[in-house]
């Protein structure tokens, strides 16, 4: 971390600030320039509050030099993390495809979906029971009953299941769910993240609509700092000015994260674009860019879906996509 | 709502879609053009799922014509809402200034702060007890003890108090808090919003970092639809590419909201900019643009603040700002 | 196009507006609803000024239903455009790789670069002579001499060349340059676009930093409307809040454009990210997503580059990338 | 400027980089930490190319500590610049209101407009002759004839005039125009900026749609570095995800710029919002936040305007706004 001081900083004020920094256990290196004086901080700055240093009247700005995350940081843990979900692995060589309906709607729907996904080569079943909806008047999921139906489909097909948790009050209901999904809107629900750190279950952490990669890793750090190392990151599009797609898939996030963290990273082209016709090309791009998996919305009859119909694809289309995904995984040396 | 159909839509398919729309209780008007056919929907479309209509293969796009919010909509409730907080009013003619430290740190701090705020003319005391922090290693507030100290300051000064609620589990602790604040990161925590609709307390709903004005009003609608009409909207900056300020204050949101809703709207220049030196001019702009109030972070010694020091101003600076705010309120015909 | 009128619109005012619309040669369909009246416009609305319709006091909002671009529109020209550059084709089955230094610096540099690019399988040479630089104090290119050196490299290797034009004053200097590149900052330099429509040369039109896909197609339309159908679109990243990459590559733009236009679309991973380490995975993603080509910055010694060193890759790295690009093109059925 | 080196940087490589930096005339301070080594650069870094330093394989990142602009920098020129336009002053104590139609359409229109603006207290007349339009099919201004009519209105009323220049080819036509406006889309048209530095005329430099404040100041620096110190900055809204307004007015830019530069800053609420109903509150906010002036679109009959009708206000409305602007200027101690 470095502190750029104003030209007006006199020796007395500088010494006071330096004494304060030393009292925080930090070593300081001072470079006096013509227009400004720069103080370099050496030591563990991950707990230093940038804001309070900026409040000193001689401070012009404060810049971090090292990343504020540690447990998620590749510098301290170079080996890629592989997460094992009932035998299905994600990370390093292992590629995984999570698919299923936006929302579990009926036993018939979820079981038909699960079977077709398995047949096409998908290896994890997704299905929403608690649905975050912008409008209070929209369908908000079958809740507990939705989870039950998802578990029925798990029993029927053997596929591990992933579903979104929206509130700690429902945590008990998720005991047999294999992966707990935290949605974009809860990526910085810090109370929720801390508690999830206490259960050992794999957490699928979606990126927030307007969150930087660093903030996303800090949210993973929250879960890890509470004791749970099993975090899967999911890029699902960020909010930009472009309106032809629901969000803008930040595909560069995959190789950027590869450099910064050892955690697995998957891509969700369904939420990223909101359009069924874009899923196929983006799924292929996801494999080619080096992601560790995909999450895709599949629905037997998209035009009857109770939510997100526009971005859902049919099982037939899913099988077609899987054929290309397998070809690309083979080339990339990934095991699916 | 209108549905633009593809040129390829034949009569049979169009009739099937129209029959479906009629089954939802909607009347349809069809205009057949050269390149596309447009179906206009008449009736209550607030519960129609755009996504599922977009999933029909003959649909090119679906556009809303009327707003999806009703209880918050000025069209159905033209009179501005005035919220009374223990005698302090916000909305219509009434202007309110909420001020205090980012975080309650000690009895001495919060009481000194409260007294200076009252003396300067602020009429509501803010103070955080549960703090959402990006880093799990940062100070996260005094929690229950923080609320107790805030209530002590309330007793001492008579100022109503506002504090942020981060999780429903803590709701019981807020029984004597006058206004419950919902932070930007929880603006779309729909489970939380629904529950808050069940308590009658005024809710200060901050705008999410990347949320549109329409989404913000839909979140207000969540609270109102559950039975609580006392919602105060707070613009606190949105996320853009500009980095000299922490966020970008969307000041136009104030007059835009004035046209769309009857709810009061306040501005938080502290979080919008993250910089103490910008609070004064933006507070003045907030009054001039027609906001119903301000929320400002004040700390006796910003450089020792446990959070957000960089954007906190001293009580002396606050008094100076209040002097200008009062002059402008007088000109605007607002009662402070 | 539809016009949503305010509830307050009375019959007299509506009739006046309708008469105005009819005078513009448009047919109108009126749907009277409870909260608002909607006027649907039928006919050629591409020349209708939305702004002036919004200025009528009974208008609440105006929404386009059909695209404002025509010559670039796939609806009117379904066959993909293939552009032939001295025998090198781009579009439909043909994939093209344009590579070379950000800036032409010396004869030795550009010829060495050109040879290694050709050897690796690149088929168009890029090289900047006029460089748009944020700072007036930065190196701004060798200008006329740079173009000369680029043409020397063209003669030496037979590779067609592409270079950026920044001002009409320099147009004469580009007579032997095969493709004229219009940079992101000039995407809406309408005077320039109109003039380029008068030369028959292929134009590589980069997307502006904050331009929507529709605006981008309107800029292509400017060139086409002046008589030049040879436009190649180049996605090079848009500006968002994310700072780990210089820009955010909007990879979804490729399949979105495929649906909207018949023009070829390429991807520039160098400018999109600003980081050499990200080029390889993004180049692969570009092929997989269905782009018609790539533009990549290659420099013999990036750390000595006079501009954009951070995003330049070595010829060795380029050869490695080309090996993967060829494999993927083969799978995709593209001819490189 | 500081360079953060990778942990893998050995002494030999560090020494090579340091030798290179010294060869650029920079002094270096090296701090060796556990995870990374930081090199601080002392001396004039305004001409150092960050990109080429980032291309060194031992470099992790490079951060600027001082601003890259000099002539526009308040640190080197603390007194606010006052620009005198034929007796009308802008900057420091002087407030200016520029108003007029988006586009000059006829002699009758521009003279009527000019007279009503003068009567209401506006002191500079704006009027577009060359109009940048997204669509090639839209009205693009009366061009030379538009400038002539604007000059007729100048003669008639004595008001100085401002008009937009889109291309250097038209520069000669602007000899009697008092202020040359550079539009948002040309903010980084560097060839144009350099040339404008050679004429002594005041330049009104609008902020680009997606440009940072630093980039904006660098564009001012281009003009100043070529010899023209008369630059007026105009904030006109930036592009964000919000769609209720055409752009998002970044009002914080005014006090931010006040800290960074001595140049005058004005606000254009018309382009910022695109909506006539928002001009009044934003104009007031502009004065209160400390801007040096306003630019407002006024048209006798907005619904007949050939461009930007939706954001144009009538002369009556303008007079009403001016009344409030004068009151606020009086309070702020500004001379209008």
Mean pLDDT by 10 residues, chain D (336 residues): 85 91 87 78 80 87 87 94 96 98 96 98 97 90 97 98 95 97 96 93 97 97 96 98 96 98 98 95 98 96 84 95 98 96
Q: What residues of B are in contact with residue A18 (Cβ under 8 Å)?
A: none
Interatomic CA distance for residues B246 and B263, integer angstroms:
27
Contact residues on chain C for D139, CB-CB shorter than 8 A: 49
- The pairs formed by B142-148 with CB atoms below 8 angstroms and a separation of 24 or more are B142/B103, B142/B104, B142/B105, B143/B170, B144/B173, B146/B103, B146/B104, B147/B104, B147/B173, B147/B174, B147/B177
Taking an 8 Å cut-off on Cβ atoms, the answer to whether B167 and A307 are in contact is no
Report CB contact under 8 Å: C51, D311.
Answer: yes
Q: Which chains touch B (3 or more CB pairs under 8 A)?
A: A, C, D
C-beta neighbour count of A208 within 10 angstroms: 26
CB contact under 8 A, D40 and A36: no
Inter-chain contact B305–A52, Cβ cutoff 8 Å? Answer: yes
Give me the residue label for tokens 């009629």. B22
- Mean pLDDT in residue range C89-108: 97
Dist. CA D204–CA D42, nearest whole Å: 35
Neighbors of chain D with 3 or more C-beta pairs under 8 Å: A, B, C
Six-digit token string for B208: 């999410």
Contacts of D289 in chain B (CB under 8 A): 281-282, 284-285, 288
- pLDDT surpasses 90 at C227: yes
Cα A98 to Cα D176: distance, rounded to the nearest angstrom: 67
Testing the interface with A: which of D29, D67, D238, D240 to mutate, by most A Cβ within 10 A?
A: D29
User: Token pair of A189, please?
Assistant: 């629900």
Whole-angstrom distance, CA of residue C40 vs CA of residue C58: 15
Q: How many A/B residue pairs have CB atoms within 8 Å?
A: 150
Tell me whether strands C83-85 and C59-63 are parallel, antiparallel or unpaired.
Answer: unpaired
Among the partner residues C31, C65, C239, nearest to B36 by beta-carbon distance: C65
User: What residues of chain A lie within 8 A of the CB of D35, using their CB?
Assistant: 66, 75
Confidence of residue B8 (pLDDT cuts 50, 70, 90): confident
Residues 6+ apart with CB under 8 A from C10: none
Is D65 close to A36, i.e. CB distance below 8 A? yes
DSSP per-residue codes, A170-188: GGGGGTT-SEEEE-GGGTT
* Contact yes or no for A252 and C254 at CB 8 A: no
CB atoms within 10 A of CB A186: 27
pLDDT at C162: 98
Residues of C with CB under 8 A from a CB of A: 210, 212-214, 238, 240-245, 248-256, 259, 272-273, 277-278, 281-282, 284-290, 327-328, 331
Confidence (pLDDT) at C288: 98
Q: pLDDT higher for B103 or B29?
A: B103
CA distance C87 to chain D (A): 31
C254: tokens are 């490729």
**Residue C66, pLDDT score:** 81
In the prediction, which pLDDT does C158 show?
97
The chain-wide mean pLDDT, for chain B, equals: 93
Q: What contacts B10, CB < 8 A, 6 or more positions away?
A: none
Residue of A nearest to D246 (CA): A241
Asked if the Cβ–Cβ distance from D52 to C304 is below 8 Å, we say yes
What pLDDT is recorded for position A34?
A: 67
- Please compute, for residue B281, the number of CA atoms within 13 A of its CA located in the half-sphere on the CB side: 20
Of B210, B256, B277, which has the smallest distance from its Cβ to D278's Cβ? B256
Helix (H, G, I), strand (E, B) or coil at D66: coil
Token reading at B259: 């046209």
In angstroms, the CA C234 to CA C184 distance is 9
Q: Show Cβ contacts of residue B273 under 8 Å, excluding neighbours closer than 6 positions.
A: B237, B245, B246, B247, B249, B279, B282, B311, D252
| Whether the predicted interface score ipTM is above 0.90 | yes
Shortest CB distance from B272 goes to which of D244, D252, D259? D252
Model confidence, pTM: 0.95
Name the average pLDDT for chain C. 94
Both tokens of C313, joined, read: 């890759």
Tens of pLDDT along B160-189?
999 999 999 999 999 999 999 999 999 999
Whether residue C38 and residue B7 make contact (CB cut-off 8 A), yes or no, is: no
In 3D space, the residue among A32, A55, A39, A54 whose CA is nearest the CA of residue A1 turns out to be A39
- pLDDT attached to residue B43: 78
The DSSP 8-state label assigned to residue D39 in this structure reads E
Half-sphere exposure of C54 (CA within 13 A, CB side): 21
C82 confidence band (pLDDT: 50, 70, 90): very high
Contact D285 B251 (CB under 8 A): yes
Out of B238, B242, B281, the one facing D255 most closely (by C-beta) is: B281
Q: Do C328 and A256 touch (CB under 8 A)?
A: no
Residue stretches of chain A with pLDDT short of 70: 34-35
pLDDT given for residue A9 in this prediction: 84
Is residue B125 pLDDT above 90, yes or no?
yes
pLDDT of residue A175: 96
Over residues C178-184, mean pLDDT? 98
Residues near B11 by beta carbon (within 8 Å), at least 6 away in sequence: none
Best of B1, B49, B73, B219 to disrupt the A interface by mutation (most A CBs within 10 Å)? B49
Chain D residues whose C-beta is within 8 A of a chain A C-beta are: 2, 4, 7, 29, 31, 33, 35-36, 38, 40, 42, 63, 65-66, 75, 239-241, 243
pLDDT of residue A30: 84
| pLDDT at residue D34, as a whole number | 67
The whole-number average pLDDT for the span C252-265 is: 98
Element (H, E) at A38: strand A37-42
Please tell me what DSSP assigns to residue A70: S
Asked if D289 and B282 come within 8 Å (Cβ–Cβ), the reply is: yes
> Mean per-residue pLDDT for C43-64?
84
- Asked if D252 and B328 come within 8 Å (Cβ–Cβ), the reply is no
Give B280-320 pLDDT, tens digit per residue.
999 999 999 999 999 999 999 888 888 878 889 999 999 99
Place of tokens 């009519």: D149
Residue C34 has pLDDT above 70, yes or no: no
Comparing C279-288, C313-322, D3-12, the range with the smallest average pLDDT is D3-12
């Amino acid at each position: 971390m470095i502190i750029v001081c104003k030209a007006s900083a006199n020796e007395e004020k500088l010494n006071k600030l330096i004494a304060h920094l030393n009292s925080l256990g930090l070593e300081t290196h001072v470079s006096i320039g013509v227009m400004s004086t720069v103080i370099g901080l050496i030591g563990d700055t991950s707990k230093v509050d940038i804001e309070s240093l900026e409040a000193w009247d001689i401070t012009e700005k404060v810049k971090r030099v090292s990343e504020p995350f540690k447990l998620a940081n590749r510098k301290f843990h170079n080996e890629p993390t592989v997460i094992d979900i009932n035998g299905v692995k994600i990370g390093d060589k292992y590629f995984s495809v999570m698919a299923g309906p936006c929302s579990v709607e009926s036993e018939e729907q979820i079981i038909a979906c699960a079977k077709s996904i398995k047949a096409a080569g998908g290896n994890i079943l997704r299905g929403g029971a608690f649905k975050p909806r912008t409008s209070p008047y929209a369908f908000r999921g079958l809740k507990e009953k939705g989870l039950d139906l998802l578990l029925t489909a798990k029993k029927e097909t053997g596929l591990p299941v992933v579903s979104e948790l929206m509130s700690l009050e429902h945590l008990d209901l998720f005991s047999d769910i294999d992966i707990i999904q935290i949605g974009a809107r809860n990526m910085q629900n810090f109370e929720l993240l801390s508690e999830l750190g206490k259960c050992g279950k794999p957490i699928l952490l979606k990126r927030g609509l307007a969150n930087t990669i660093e903030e996303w890793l800090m949210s993973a750090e929250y879960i890890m700092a509470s004791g749970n190392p099993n975090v899967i990151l999911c890029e699902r599009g960020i909010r930009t000015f472009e309106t032809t797609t629901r969000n803008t898939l930040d595909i560069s996030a995959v190789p950027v994260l590869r450099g910064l963290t050892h955690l697995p990273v998957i891509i969700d082209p369904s939420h990223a674009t909101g359009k069924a016709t874009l899923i196929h090309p983006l799924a292929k791009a996801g494999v080619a860019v080096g992601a560790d998996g995909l999450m895709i919305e599949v629905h037997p009859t998209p035009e009857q879906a109770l939510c997100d119909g526009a971005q859902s694809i049919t099982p037939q289309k899913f099988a077609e996509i899987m054929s290309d995904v397998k070809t690309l995984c083979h080339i990339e040396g990934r095991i699916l």
